[in-house]
Every structure is written in C-alpha cells, then in structure tokens.
Amino acid sequence: MATVLPYHGVTYRQNPAFYPRPQYLEQISAVLGPDTPRGLTSFALVGFGGCGKTQLAIEYTHRTNHYDAIFWCAAENSLQLSESFAMHARQLDLIKGDDVPQQDRIISLVKQRLLSLSVNGKPSRWLMVFDNMEPFDGLSSFWPSGLSGSILVTTRNKTLAKEFTKSQVSIPPFEPLDAQRFLLQYRTSGTEHTCQEDNAAEIISQRLGNLPLALDLVRHHVSASGSSYKEFLRCYGEPTVNMIHLLAILDVSCIPLSIFGADKEDMLCNGPDVEDELPQLQDLLESPVANIYELDTVVSELMDGSLIDRNVGSGSLSLHRILQDSVAHSFDAATRSRSFSKVLFYLNGCFPTQRDGGLLFEQWYLCEHYIPHIFSVVQFYRKNIKLLDPPVMLAEIIRRCAWYLLEKHQFTEAKILVRDAVEICKRARTSSNLLGFTRYRYIPRLLSDLYNVMGALEYESNTEGHGLRWAMKARSIRQELCLTLDLERDKSNGQLREALPLLEAVHEYDASTSGVNTDNFYRTLSLSICYRLLGKYIHAVDCSNIAMKVIQEHIGEDSVPMATARFCWGNLLLCMEDRVGAYNAFSMCFLTRQKLMPTHFDTAFTAHKLGAMALQNGDLDPMSLAAIRTAYLLSIVLLQSNQSDAAKQMRSRVNQALEAKGKRVDAKEA
C-alpha cells in the first residue's frame, strides 16, 4: 500500500458552488483533526435529506491535508457499501481488476490494510467516510479499526449515529438569510440585482424550507433556462403550489393522477358524520386543479422546473425524495393540516370499498395503485403526530386497506397498520378537534370494526388465541352502542313526537322539489317508521308504499334497499296484526339478504325474526333434532367465548331435549 500513498478515494469533485458553513467544518476538524488524542475517532453529521450533510463531508475531504488516505463509501445499504469497498480494494491493488471475490473477503482485505496502517512504526493517518448511512443487517461487519484512523458519517438516523460514533452534530437547513444569499450568489448573467429578485429568492427559500439541495435544484434550473427567480416564481401559481404540497405527502415513486380526480360523493364515503362541524369541508373536497387542462398546465410547470417527472404510459408522476422532504419541512401549521386532510379525502375517494361485507379481490388492481400512498401517509402522520389532529379518516381508510392485505395474506403489514388506526381512534377520544366525526358514536363504531379486522387477521394467520380477544373487544363496544340486534330499541333518543314534524317537513320538501327518488327514499322510509312507532299505521303504509315503488322501479326487487324496505314492511304488518303478511315480508327480506350479504348481522337478525315468529305461530318444534343440533352448536360457541355458565345451561337443555325424545345418544350423534 505504501506505493499508492497518498490515496484520495473520494468519488465527488469539490463543489465550486459550495456555500460556506465554517462552524460545521470547524467541528469536524476539532474531533477528527491531528490534534486529537491517538485512537480511532468518529464523528457524525445528522439531519434529514437535503440539508447539506454530504456537501459538508465532500468539502472537508477536499480541504483537509491531515490524511494519507481517504476512503469514500456509499453506505445506504449493504450492496452499495460492498461496491465501495471493492472499488477501493482494486484502487489499492488488494484485488486484481478482473477478480470478483466474495463480499466477506473484500471487507476483510480493506479492514486488514487499514489496521496495518495504524501499527507501523510511523502510523499513516486515514479517514473513511460512510455517506448516507442507513441501518441494515451486517453494517457492523464493515466497521474498520485502527489507532490512526478517523470515521466521518452522514446519516438521517440519529439513533444509528449515536450507536456507531462518539460525537454527533445536527445539521439544520440554511438560515433564511443564508438561503437567500445562496440563490443570489449565482444569478444568471445579465440578471439585474433588484428588490424584486431579492423578494423572489426569499419566497422561494421559504417555500422550500431553506433546504440546500432543493435550493440547488431551483438554482440550476434558473441558470440553465436563462430566466430569473422572479420569472420562476411567477410560473408557480397557487394550483401548482397546492399540487406540490399534496405530492410531498404521497409516495414519490409513482403518484397516479387519478388520485386527484376522485368523485366528491366517494370522498365522503364513510366520512364525517357531522359535516356541519367541518366548515372547511368544501375546500378539502376541491381538487387542486379545476379541470384536465389546468392539470396538464400544472404538471408541465412542475416538469419545466425539474421538480417532478411524468412516468410515460402510466398516467403517474414521480418526485425527488429530497424535494419531498424539503417541501414537507417548509409546511406551516395551516398548510400541513390542510394538505394532509385533502390527501386523506382523495385517498378515501379512490380506495375501493367493500360492498355488504364482500371481498375486494375483484378490485385488487386498484388497491395495488393506492397501497403505497396509504403507507406514505401513515409515515407522514407518524413523523408529525404531535403537530396533527388525530386523522379519523385515515383510520377508516386503514380499515379497508387491512382487509385487502388480509386477502393477500400480508398479515404482518396489515396488523401494523391496524395498530396505528386503533391508536388514532384512542387519540381521537380525548381530542377536541375531530373534524366532523362524533366522539361517542362514529369513533367507537370504527374502533369496534378495527378490533374485528385485527381478530380476523389473527385468525387467518393462525395466531395464538385465533383473534378471540379482539372479537370480544369488538362485541363489548357494539353492546355499549346498543348494537345488540335489538333494532326496536335503536331509535336514537326515542323522541318520536319531536322527530315527526321534522321528518314530515323533509318529506314534503322532497315531494315538492325533485320528488321521492333513489337519493332520498330512505327519508320517506324513516317517516314510515316514525308513523308506525306512533301508531299511525295508515300514514305508515302510504310512506312505505312510496319508498318501495321507487326501489322497485329504479333499483330492483333483488337489492339490499328492497330487503330493508321489506323488513320495515314486515314490522308494520306485525303491528297491524297481519302475521301472515309479515312472515312473507320477512321471508323475502331474508332470501335477498342471504343471497347478497350472507355473513352480515342484518341477515342473522332477519333469520332470528323469522325463527321467533315461527315459534309464536306454533310452526316450530323446539324439540326437533334439527333444533337440538343448533342448540348444541350454540353451546360450543358460548364455551369458546368464555361464557361457560351459559354454555352449561344450553348443554343441559340439549340433554333434556334428547331424553324427552327418547334418544339414548349424545348430541354429536344426534
């Protein structure tokens, strides 16, 4: 190795446009310089992407003359670090140019040579730079040793820096004045230094969070295009700025433009249940662009500024990850909250919904488009959790996303997301700002659904307990919410007389404007229920007939709305003592629900209603072997649900029924 010293293995040239930050260069020298005590020294520059860590390290390696050998290593992952070690090994003749030894062999050769430099009679000083170091398995195996060595690390990971280095310093973005000077010191030739140019540079710096790398991108674009910062700023109107704010929250590798075309009705699906408490709702639902032509204009402006790329043929955009960090860092509180909420509404409108408890497999291709963006939004929330209100809508999106991941058997990823959603709901319970979601109704319902999803995940992944504890949590919440399948008690506050004039006024308005139609027939059905509960059966019949006619003509006989209408009709006929008509209505309701939503609790309740009527009519033999088998299966369910007393009672009734039948067999045989 002596034949190749000094060795300057730095893969970057000195940057002529480097903006001096002497305080950080002095700190590096103070820790790694020749005046430090003999021994392996280490120092880390820590900060998020684009704040200038790598440029400081490059400048230090070119300014210093304290080292006989400098090794620059890309350290983002094992592959990059291995390639860097192999390059240095070839440069130092440790391996021949055409040799391709094993990774372990290359690491060993480089580390041995560095160690030998430190134990010679006159030790040679060396510096190894680990640039953009990220955690990965086997990182410690690359770590060199030697009393005459120094290590300089650049990383975004503060924990990693503390683990591997003795000293660290956080590198912030530029100070506002330095950011402005950085832009202005390399103006395009012929550009006058005016107050307008100064103001434009100040605004650009502020919008980009004073991040050196992002500012450098803008500076290069302005220089290459021969324009000015004033012209650059003029090109980026409000729609363009809004768009870049939204892109900064999404997954930067492939952002489908379809996200920004979501239908407003879909965006509100399972959304705020008290929209009046969200005065900015219409703003949040508005697309960043008014139409396809404005979208093309905005995309073109961002591409002209080298801020984004259009992925040809895929209808999607990509954004430099460093620029994403820069824009996100520049958010003030209002911009952060507004942009985050808008992204949630867009994703809510795009991500497929389950219809009546069905599967999502027919829409997997759509789910795959949007899954990366859900993960990105969750990551953004984790980073800004102290700065954002609990995003209840994100928890709802995660609920649907988790079902997709369950169908794909990606159980680990789904469980992580569901835990995030559960924590969001728990935060929301104590928050004063829920963005239109009710604390005591919507959030508990959503939380119970999330517990149910987690139970399904643990059951499908064969986890110990098979998800039973989560199912019991979900059941407990639903019981507290009166979701006990006793629909007769689920009548809000029970203030029927107060509700009646309101429902009548709404119905009169509907009838006098657009008429009762597919958008408002449920209101007419609600009026029918109110009439029934107040004993006004004739009025109730009239309203039910109106609603059922609309459903029959515009939605269809074999539909979920018709099943609901028939259930209400059956209850009305029961009150009018027409048990035969009621039984027929419930039967038709059950057949439809069994076909369209076989596992839904409404279907189970309809079956229960039919069974109760059959028993009251004397049409059901509770002592039949079929009934005994059902009771036996119920006893097993109760036992597995830790309701041992109820299970014993049910099993006792099974045995009594068998003895009464004269069957000297056990329940399994029966």
Per-residue CA distances from 269 to 81, 142, 350, 595 (Å): 47, 52, 10, 24
Q: Name the band, by pLDDT with cuts 50, 70 and 90, for residue 162.
A: very high
Query: Of the candidates 300, 403, 383, which has an alpha carbon nearest to the alpha carbon of residue 340?
Result: 383
**Model confidence over 38-72: pLDDT tens digits?**
788 999 999 877 788 999 999 999 999 889 999 99
Q: Is 210 a domain residue?
A: yes
Number of Cβ atoms within 10 Å of the Cβ of 148: 21
| Structural domain range at position 515 | 496-610
Q: Is 667 a domain residue?
A: no
Q: Is 491 a domain residue?
A: no
Give the CA diameter of the chain: 109
Tokens 């280095």 belong to 165
Regarding whether 196 and 129 lie in a shared domain, the answer is no
Measured at the CA of 493, the angle between CA 587 and CA 499, to 5 degrees, comes to: 85
* Selected residue with higher pLDDT from 378 and 327: 378
What is the predicted pLDDT for the residue at 492? 44
Q: Is 669 a domain residue?
A: no
Long-range contacts at 332-339 (CB < 8 A, ≥ 24 apart): 333/387, 335/245, 336/384, 336/387, 336/388, 337/388, 337/389, 338/280, 338/283, 338/284, 339/242, 339/245, 339/246, 339/248, 339/249
Q: Is 617 a domain residue?
A: no
| Domain count along the chain | 5
Tokens 């400081």 belong to 56
9 phi/psi in degrees, rounded to 5: -90, 55
Per-residue CA distances from 211 to 13, 64, 498, 645 (Å): 21, 25, 60, 66
Lowest mean pLDDT among 426-435, 452-461, 484-493, 628-637: 484-493
Regarding whether 117 and 65 lie in a shared domain, the answer is yes
Assign 331 to helix, strand or coil.
coil
Highest mean pLDDT among 160-174, 350-364, 595-609: 160-174
Q: Is 670 a domain residue?
A: no
Helix (H) or strand (E) holding 617: none
Query: Of the candidates 426, 329, 342, which has an alpha carbon nearest to the alpha carbon of residue 377?
Result: 342
Average pLDDT score over residue span 539-553: 94
**Model confidence over 69-111: pLDDT tens digits?**
999 999 988 888 998 998 999 888 888 766 667 778 889 999 9
Return mean pLDDT, the chain: 82
CATH number for position 548 = 1.25.40.10
3-state DSSP of 173-196: CCCHHHHHHHHHCCCCCCCCCCHH
Q: Is 490 a domain residue?
A: no
Per-residue CA distances from 624 to 71, 378, 508, 561 (Å): 85, 54, 52, 35
| Residue 78 burial (C-beta neighbours within 10 Å; 0-12, 13-18, 19+) | middle
**Model confidence over 12-33: pLDDT tens digits?**
899 888 888 999 999 999 999 8
* Selected residue with higher pLDDT from 603 and 455: 455
- How many Å is the Cα radius of gyration of the chain? 34
Regarding whether 299 and 391 lie in a shared domain, the answer is yes
Regarding whether 227 and 245 lie in a shared domain, the answer is no
Regarding whether 264 and 227 lie in a shared domain, the answer is no
Domain termination residue (choose one: 235, 250, 268): 235
Regarding whether 372 and 280 lie in a shared domain, the answer is yes
Q: Name the band, by pLDDT with cuts 50, 70 and 90, for residue 299.
A: low
Both tokens of 45, joined, read 């520059």
Per-residue CA distances from 338 to 203, 242, 427 (Å): 20, 10, 19
Domain termination residue (choose one: 170, 198, 226): 170
Q: Is 541 a domain residue?
A: yes
How far apart, in whole angstroms, are the C-alpha atoms of residue 345 and residue 393? 8
Characterize the bridge pairing of strands 126-131 and 7-9. unpaired
CATH number for position 95 = 3.40.50.300
Regarding whether 24 and 162 lie in a shared domain, the answer is yes
